[in-house]
Amino acid sequence: MDVRAYARGIFISPQKLGLVCDKVRGMQAEQALVVLEFMPHKGARFIHKLLTSALANAENNFDLERDEMFISNIFAGDGPMLKRYKAGARGRYKPRKRRTSHLTLVLSQREAN
């Protein structure tokens, strides 16, 4: 059974979030929590929070074992862009794009061999 969790409109670019996603994809859920806790990246906080929520949902709503869960899929997509402007030289302005992300996490249960 798959458990999905979403985080929408996170104030970090998808490219930066994707670097952390690549590190934890395929890991056991408990192991990924430990790795994310000690990662220095800003995106690790967002993924740690979402993973904790997904594990709580799996236990509470679907009666799944926490130890058997692993991250089968995780990815960051583009969210809405906030367009801002900053003062530039000679009375001009420079456009800035504040990128946001949508984070999707899919937990699966290990098959018993």
Parse the chain into domains and list their residue ranges: 2-109
* 3-class SS of residue 101: strand
- Give residue-wise pLDDT tens across range 38-86: 999 999 999 999 999 999 999 999 999 999 999 999 999 999 999 999 9
Identify any residues that bridge with 2 across adjacent strands, giving them in sequence order: 108
Whole-number percent of the chain with pLDDT over 70:
98
Distance CA 13, CA 3 (A): 25
**Per-residue CA distances from 56 to 29, 47, 50, 52, 87 (Å):** 11, 14, 10, 6, 46
Distance CA 44, CA 50 (A): 10
- Would you say residue 113 has pLDDT above 70? no
pLDDT value, residue 1: 84
pLDDT value, residue 109: 93
The average confidence (pLDDT) of the chain is 95
2-109 sits in which CATH class? alpha beta
Are 103 and 6 spatial neighbours (Cβ–Cβ below 8 Å)? yes
* 3-class SS of residue 38: coil
Distance CA 66, CA 40 (A): 25
Give the residue ranges of DSSP H helices in 2-111.
14-24, 29-37, 42-62
pTM above threshold 0.85: yes
